[in-house]
Chains A and B, each alone.
Chain A
């Protein structure tokens, strides 16, 4: 295949394939989850009575937070929250992506300024670096780390690294190569979401909100 034909394939059909795989994969995972679980016929497990989150004083909120995982690992919780927010916000509300969306299907989402998304990208990459260092340096994380964890981290950060390089035209002479790698990295990540460790994106919500447990964040009215 010629270079231009390959480029056209990456930014054309492969983009659609990746979106289809992403959405169908997520639907499949949701279906599988609901197939595996059933509505709880009666309350077997009564979680601790919940206190209202709103209405409490700042001191109450701080006290509650200090007793949660946030109080135990504040840095990790903040970094991981920022990382995941940037992971969603930066690509979805990027002007360039929305212009492509407008050209393709005629509708687009709200866009943040390019400099703001650029800042989010840098923050995201620093968070990724934090995860990498944590994996290498913290004994308990290292103890359960395998090559797949590094690969997943690479897969998650690759679209952002290449996106940053493309936006800043760092390799201006090879812009087409960089932008192709960026598109390809994004497509690979999208396709990987439903079938790799990225699937925790879905399971965080279904496990924590739908399944009954002491730590359920939602109704938790289904059981395995």
Chain B
């Protein structure tokens, strides 16, 4: 397996943050049945021609789910991809509806917080 270049990422801190919310995160990831019934509750999904990348569960699984799966051992590129999922594709309007009751916005907010700590966030003044 190729070694991940974690330069510039405080992986210990990411892991620490994940551990703080480990049980709830694990339960939420496990409870997600990958049904995508949450899709239409996202106004961005509807506005972006039903692009699967805007499905709330996609954003949830490809942000906090990815961080959890990799146990915090992520590189800057991965954090950049997570940034796209939690900022560019999510307005955190908290209107997403999960039939199983998973608190998707809270998970997205956690991913945002972890990214922000690692210096990965939208720079509206530069971009």
Contacts and interface: CB of A to CB of B under 8 A. Distances in A.
A142 B101 CA distance: 22
Given A69-B97, A213-B101, A215-B97, A144 B34 contact: yes
Interface in B82-127: 97, 99-103, 106
Contact of B52 (A69, A140, A196): A140
B57 A144 contact: yes
Nearest to B45: A140
B101 A72 contact: no
B33 interface: yes
A143 B52 CA distance: 7
A5 interface: no
A211 B35 contact: no
A80 interface: yes
A156 to B, nearest CB: 11
Interface stretch (B6-14, B23-31, B73-81): B23-31
A138 B97 contact: no
Interface residues on B, range: 20 to 34
A73 B38 CA distance: 10
A141 B53 CA distance: 11
Contact of A197 (B30, B101, B103): B30
Interface stretch (A47-55, A157-165, A176-184, A198-206): A198-206
Interface residues on A, range: 20 to 34
Contact of B55 (A36, A143, A203, A208): A143
Contacts of B40: 72-73
Interface string A58-86: 00000000000100110011001000000
A144 B55 contact: yes
Contacts, number: 84
B58 interface: yes
Nearest to B60: A144
Grouping DSSP codes into helix (H, G, I), strand (E, B) and loop, the A interface class, with mixed when no group exceeds half, is helix
Nearest to A207: B101
Contacts of B50: 140
B44 interface: no
B61 interface: yes
A50 B118 CA distance: 42
Interface in A103-153: 138-145, 149
Interface of A: 32-33, 36, 69, 72-73, 76-77, 80, 138-145, 149, 196-197, 199-200, 203-204, 206-208, 211, 213, 215-216, 224
23 contacts: A69-B37, A76-B37, A77-B37, A138-B36, A139-B52, A140-B36, A140-B39, A140-B55, A143-B53, A144-B52, A144-B57, A145-B34, A149-B34, A197-B30, A200-B32, A204-B31, A204-B100, A207-B100, A208-B101, A213-B101, A213-B103, A216-B101, A224-B106
Chain A to chain B: the 5 pairs with minimum beta-carbon distance, closest first: A207-B101, A143-B52, A140-B52, A203-B31, A208-B101
